[in-house]
């Protein structure tokens, strides 16, 4: 009998793991997730690496060794991260090959300190992708004001991009248009239009931000409703003449990815967002705890409606309660743009302390 994770995969949604540690790769755990839960990719971010390095003795030993070789700071971290992520990419390479590049991806984020630096982000994306030497490794670039032109240029240069920090339909559309501009430029230049991308919409943080400001009956409904609104735009874009023209030239869709799908409210179901956002052709990247919970007791009952369902009715209720979605989307993106540099600085300090112990 199939578990719920396998059922969701059969519905047409890809399940990715939002985690990376060396032990995940070497203990057989990731292989088990691939086999038992139909996991077909994974994502990482600075916070995930920070937690992994702090909690695992393996990284302390490796950092000390690299420090003794004269490496430090960001350079040491990216060497460490690439070692894990290229190994993870190799785990998923059979999936990548079997799906003709549709699935089987892992993701590495550029330095969060480049958030306002478009040229620096472009240079870092190109360099990290070249260093990885893996066709199934995404470079994560935030869909911020400075990130949008970097996404277009990275796609034009043939770098697969996971657009991160998207919090609304409008954020998604900006990322999708940047992707299409990059593909259109490649076609005009006579280059291969097949450059992969995903657009990552953050879900649960919406509800964290508003649950104490709205009536109880609206609790934990905002993130899902905004996801439904965004999904409609995603499907509309794929049906548009502009995209159909690109598809006819051989381009592949930039897939929609649900991120931040672990439930933050202890009073809500632990698989709330996974069950609500089952949608063919999309991706859900989830923490290990959420993946295991969903496989154990989740349900796959229906697919997300392509017309947005009743999302606009629910969103109107939030507006009546005083929630300005556009303002909040900007605030959430800015907040995460600040959080990741804090995690990054914490990560650099942790690496520095470990490196100091190498002497």
Per-domain boundaries in the chain: 4-356
Residue range 284-341, pLDDT digits in tens: 999 999 999 999 999 999 999 999 999 999 999 999 999 999 999 999 999 988 877 8
Paired sense of beta strands 137-142 and 161-166, if any: parallel
> What is the rounded distance in angstroms from the CA atom of residue 195 to the CA atom of residue 244?
16
Across all residues in the chain, what is the average pLDDT?
95
Residue range 155-203, pLDDT digits in tens: 999 999 999 999 999 999 999 999 999 999 999 999 999 999 999 999 9
- What local confidence, expressed as pLDDT, does residue 105 receive? 98
Which of 218, 229, 292 minimizes the C-alpha distance to 262? 292
Residue range 16-46, pLDDT digits in tens: 999 999 999 999 999 999 999 999 999 998 8
Top CATH class of 4-356 equals alpha beta
pLDDT at 358 over 60: no
Strand positions, DSSP E, 110-216: 137-142, 161-166, 197-202
Residue range 268-289, pLDDT digits in tens: 999 999 999 999 999 999 999 9
As annotated, the active-site residues are 140
Residue range 42-82, pLDDT digits in tens: 999 888 988 888 887 789 889 989 998 998 899 999 999 99
Burial grade of 288 (CB within 10 A; 0-12, 13-18, 19 or more): middle
Residue range 202-244, pLDDT digits in tens: 999 999 999 999 999 999 999 999 999 999 999 999 999 999 9
- What local confidence, expressed as pLDDT, does residue 199 receive? 98
Distances 238 to 173, 174, 246, 256 between C-alpha atoms, Å? 12, 15, 10, 11
How big is the CA angle at 347 (ends 345 and 351), to the nearest 5 degrees?
A: 115
């Amino acid at each position: 009998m199939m578990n719920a994770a396998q059922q969701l995969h059969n519905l047409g949604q890809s399940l990715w793991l939002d985690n990376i540690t060396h032990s995940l790769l070497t203990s057989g755990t990731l292989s088990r997730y691939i086999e038992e839960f139909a996991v077909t990719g994974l994502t990482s971010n600075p916070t995930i690496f920070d937690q992994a390095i702090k909690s695992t003795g393996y990284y302390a030993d490796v950092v000390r060794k690299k420090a003794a070789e004269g490496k430090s700071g960001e350079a040491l971290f990216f060497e460490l991260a690439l070692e894990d992520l290229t190994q993870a990419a190799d785990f998923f390479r059979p999936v990548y090959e079997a799906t003709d590049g549709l699935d089987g991806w892992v993701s590495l984020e550029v330095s969060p300190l480049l958030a306002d630096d478009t040229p620096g982000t472009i240079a870092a994306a190109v360099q990290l992708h070249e260093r990885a030497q893996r066709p199934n490794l995404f470079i994560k670039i935030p869909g911020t004001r400075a990130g949008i032109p970097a996404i277009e240029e990275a796609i034009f240069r043939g770098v697969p991009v996971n657009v991160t920090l998207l919090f609304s339909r409008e954020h998604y559309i900006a990322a999708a248009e940047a992707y299409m501009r990059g593909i259109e430029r490649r076609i005009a230049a006579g280059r291969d239009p097949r450059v992969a991308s995903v657009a990552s919409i953050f879900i649960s943080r919406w509800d964290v931000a508003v649950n104490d400001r709205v009536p109880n009956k609206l609790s934990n409904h905002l993130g899902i409703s905004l996801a439904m609104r965004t999904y409609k735009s995603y499907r509309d874009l794929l049906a548009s003449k502009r995209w159909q023209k690109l598809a006819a030239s051989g381009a592949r869709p930039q897939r929609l990815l649900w991120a931040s799908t672990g439930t933050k409210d202890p009073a809500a179901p632990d698989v709330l967002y996974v069950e609500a956002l089952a949608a063919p052709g999309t991706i859900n990247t989830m923490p290990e705890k959420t993946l295991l919970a969903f496989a154990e007791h989740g349900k796959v009952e229906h697919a997300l409606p392509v017309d947005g369902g009743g999302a606009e009715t629910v969103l109107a209720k939030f507006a009546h309660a005083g929630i300005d979605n556009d303002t909040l989307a900007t605030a959430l993106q800015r907040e995460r743009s600040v959080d990741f540099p804090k995690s990054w600085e914490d990560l650099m300090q942790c690496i520095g302390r470990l490196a100091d112990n190498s002497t």
